[in-house]
């Protein structure tokens, strides 16, 4: 008999931001930070480390040899309803005007948490049409620490 996997809705997911860096790039270091929730988040696309593909084509075998090269933690284009009175949104806008990395926390309703450092490259306002909510997008480029730590995943027990 095969065990069944449980899946969950994304409803209830929260995202927090803080300017400070963790003392250590692990669950304990990030958990010690006080994150400010970013309100009105409507979409968080896929995120995660992606490796570069390195290929080698030896003439004798004619086949392509594939290896993993360097990696990139990727980027996230956050989408949110614009609330200029929300403390997290204000901090997100400040991050886009800063050259500093900020710390982020994504918490799923399952109890799983993802921590990372990111550089905010943009904060754009979208007006849309008469049937739209005024929105914003913020492009985050996820960073890797000098020790090679990127996204810290803490799974619920």
For the entire predicted model, the pTM comes to 0.91
Q: What is the pLDDT of residues 135-150, one digit of tens each?
A: 999 999 999 988 888 9
Question: Is 127 in contact with 44 (CB distance < 8 Å)?
Answer: no
- Chain-centroid distance, C-alpha 34: 17
Query: Is residue 154 within a helix (H) or strand (E), and if so which, with residue range?
Result: strand 152-154
Nearest to 14 by CA among 78, 75, 90: 78
Domain ranges of the chain: 14-154
> What is the per-residue pLDDT for 109?
94
> What is the per-residue pLDDT for 4?
58
Residue 3 has pLDDT above 70, yes or no: no
Q: Look at residue 80 and give its three-state secondary structure.
A: strand
Q: What is the pLDDT of residues 25-74, one digit of tens each?
A: 999 999 999 999 999 999 999 999 999 999 999 999 999 999 999 999 99
> What is the per-residue pLDDT for 130?
93
- Say if domain 14-154 classifies as CATH 2.60.40: no
Looking at per-residue pLDDT, the higher value among 2 and 154 belongs to 154
């Amino acid at each position: 008999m095969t065990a069944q996997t449980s899946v969950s809705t994304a409803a209830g997911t929260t995202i927090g931001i803080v300017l400070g860096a963790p003392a250590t790039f692990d669950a304990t270091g990030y958990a010690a930070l006080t994150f400010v929730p970013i309100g009105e988040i409507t979409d968080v696309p896929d995120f995660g480390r992606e490796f570069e593909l390195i290929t080698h084509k030896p003439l004798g075998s004619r086949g392509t040899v594939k290896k993993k090269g360097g990696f990139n933690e990727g980027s996230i284009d956050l989408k949110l309803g614009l609330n200029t009175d929300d403390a997290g949104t204000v901090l997100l806008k400040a991050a886009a005007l800063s050259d500093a990395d900020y710390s982020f926390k994504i918490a799923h309703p399952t109890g799983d948490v993802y921590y990372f450092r990111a550089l905010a490259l943009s904060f754009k306002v979208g007006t849309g049409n008469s049937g739209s909510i005024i929105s914003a997008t913020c492009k985050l480029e996820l960073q890797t620490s000098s020790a090679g730590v990127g996204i810290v995943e803490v799974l619920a027990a």
